[in-house]
Amino acid sequence: MQTRFSPDQLTDPALREADAILRKCVHCGFCTATCPTFVLLGDELDSPRGRIYLFKEMLERGGPPPASVVKHADRCVTCLSCMTTCPSGVDYMHLLDVARQRIEDAGTARPLQERWLRWALSRILSSSRLFRWAIGAAALVKPLAALLPSRLRPLVDMAPHRVPTPSTAFRPQTFPASGPSRGRVALLTGCVQPVLDSAIHESTIRLLNRHGVAVVVAAGAECCGGLAHHLGKEDFAKRKARAAIEAWWGETRDGGGPGLDAVVITTSGCGISVRDYGHMFEADDPALARKAAAIAALAVDISEFVERLGPIAPKVGTGQRVAYHAACSLQHGQRIRTTPQALLRQAGFEVREVPEGHLCCGSAGTYNMLQPELSEQLKRRKIGHIESLAPDVIATGNLGCILQIGGGTRIPIVHTVQLLDWATGGPRPEGMERTPNAGT
């Protein structure tokens, strides 16, 4: 694609990056076939190719972002399926980051109510303490959910009737390995997951400890900054990311600690953010960029790390039919496409691939709150495909997908690591008590 940035514009690092990305696009349109919003709406401007044209024009022209650009940028699910499809290697993710940051910097590009909601979401969802308070309040108004604005209903829907007691698994500490030591890893606790589903982390710790791996929960490494980053709150996102980097750096040998073999992440959406830390800081903080790149190199999804440990040998009778939902952030963002399924098969489960598995379920961080109508359509489409398989249980690697899909089906849905933990000696995941052939 030909670009027309002026020499003066190209002194801006963000525009230089955008220029390099835009020039790779050859207009082929392969991305349109795998874009969730284009599949739903059939509008070229709601495809990656269409958005790329809009971003190019906005960035070249400068000035206030047109309302049409804001509209179609905000409709993007950020699933990154287009990057899997693109034969030219267009880095749509970072181009979208540049465009969204320009929209956010404009200040008045969105209505006041929209700006307030995005600010509130960036703060509440990035703090376990604030999120626990918000979920507690949401639980109180759950009976009135139908009367609330559509954008608030997803928050109320995800609220349990009783907010779980905080788990001790999220306090800074080290969980020692059982038996001969095979490694030492740090675990990202996150901000939403500790409140809504502590069982995922508890399963991770048990599984790794059982296989000889010590697990460190480092003080200060709570939120990765990903949600705030995708909302365009760059300064706030960097504060969160910086805290996590420094916390984990102190555990590495270069940082004076005993060393880490990996930073293990159980929420695949967070995994994308942590793996991008080097890029996040390279332009404006060279001192931190070195640490950030080192941490990014250590970051692995839990499925990747379990694969390193060798074949999974089940200790209980499994055999359940598992519909595996591939989270977009795992299959497209981190390019992990077959590992979780292989691990589940090793553990004795019958894995069934979901039709249209490349399309998003509609959760996408805060998308279900910012674009509730489109999110609901994607959810219904995804659940229809899953239920066509008649599975005993659904497995996935991202909390957002668990909440989104679980809110529309009676089939139990759990994190992949919970099934692996159970198969190798851990407790049966909650909700699976009535599944057939449930083992012992």
**Residue 202, domain member (yes or no):** yes
180 — pLDDT class (breaks 50, 70, 90): confident
Please tell me whether residues 184 and 275 are part of one structural domain: yes
Strands of 43-144, DSSP E: none
Please tell me whether residues 102 and 230 are part of one structural domain: no
**Residue 172, domain member (yes or no):** yes
pTM (2 d.p.): 0.92
Q: Is the pLDDT of residue 335 over 90?
A: yes
Please tell me whether residues 262 and 379 are part of one structural domain: no
414: closest CA among 340, 358, 359?
Answer: 340
**Residue 141, domain member (yes or no):** yes
Spell 101-126 as b/e; 16+ CB within 10 A means b: ebbbeeeebbeeeeeebbeebbbbbb
Q: What is the mean pLDDT of residues 229-250?
A: 94
**Residue 135, domain member (yes or no):** yes
pLDDT value of residue 166:
77
pLDDT value of residue 162:
72
pLDDT value of residue 283:
80
Tokens of 196: 């809504």
Q: Is the pLDDT of residue 440 over 50?
A: no
Q: How far is CA 7 from the centre of its chain?
A: 37
| DSSP letter (8 states) at residue 187 | E
Q: Does 165 or 420 have the greater pLDDT score?
A: 420
**Cα–Cα distances in Å, from 111 out to 65, 76, 118, 125, 271?**
13, 18, 11, 21, 31
Q: What is the mean pLDDT of residues 355-375?
A: 93
Helical H segments across 211-233, by residue range: 226-230
Please tell me whether residues 202 and 263 are part of one structural domain: yes
pLDDT value of residue 10:
95
Please tell me whether residues 193 and 249 are part of one structural domain: yes
Q: Is the pLDDT of residue 183 over 90?
A: yes
Cβ neighbourhood burial of 336 (10 Å; 0-12, 13-18, 19+)? buried
pLDDT value of residue 73:
95
137 — pLDDT class (breaks 50, 70, 90): confident
Please tell me whether residues 206 and 298 are part of one structural domain: yes
> Domain range for residue 387?
311-423
Count of alpha carbons within 13 angstroms of residue 249, beta-carbon side: 17
Q: What is the mean pLDDT of residues 62-77?
A: 93
Please tell me whether residues 92 and 120 are part of one structural domain: no
Least confident of 1-10, 15-24, 308-317: 308-317
Please tell me whether residues 342 and 384 are part of one structural domain: yes
Least confident of 20-29, 165-174, 197-206, 368-377: 165-174
Which percentage of the chain shows pLDDT scores above 70?
A: 97
pLDDT for 395-436, tens place per residue? 999 999 999 999 899 999 999 999 999 999 999 998 887 776
437 — pLDDT class (breaks 50, 70, 90): low
**Residue 433, domain member (yes or no):** no
Q: Is the pLDDT of residue 273 over 80?
A: yes
For residue 396, the cross-strand partners are 415
pLDDT value of residue 147:
66
**Residue 435, domain member (yes or no):** no
Average pLDDT of every residue of the chain: 91
Q: Residue 322 is part of a domain; what is its CATH number?
A: 3.40.50.1860
Q: What is the mean pLDDT of residues 153-159?
A: 72
Please count the structural domains in the chain: 4
Q: How far apart are CA 293 and CA 263, in angstroms?
A: 13
pLDDT for 278-329, tens place per residue? 999 988 888 899 999 999 999 999 999 999 999 888 898 889 999 999 999 9
pLDDT value of residue 165:
79
208: closest CA among 302, 122, 137, 99?
Answer: 302
Please tell me whether residues 44 and 82 are part of one structural domain: yes
Contact 200, 139 (CB under 8 A): no
Domain boundary (62, 81, 106) is at 106
Q: Is the pLDDT of residue 228 over 70?
A: yes
368: closest CA among 406, 326, 412?
Answer: 406
Please tell me whether residues 181 and 299 are part of one structural domain: yes
Please tell me whether residues 184 and 55 are part of one structural domain: no
Q: How far is CA 81 from the centre of its chain?
A: 14
Q: Is the pLDDT of residue 92 over 90?
A: yes
Q: Is the pLDDT of residue 100 over 90?
A: yes
**Residue 434, domain member (yes or no):** no
Q: Is the pLDDT of residue 439 over 50?
A: no
Tokens of 281: 């800081």
pLDDT value of residue 135:
82
**Residue 27, domain member (yes or no):** yes
322: closest CA among 291, 343, 353?
Answer: 353
Contact 257, 250 (CB under 8 A): yes
Please tell me whether residues 317 and 289 are part of one structural domain: no
Q: Residue 39 is part of a domain; what is its CATH number?
A: 1.10.1060.10
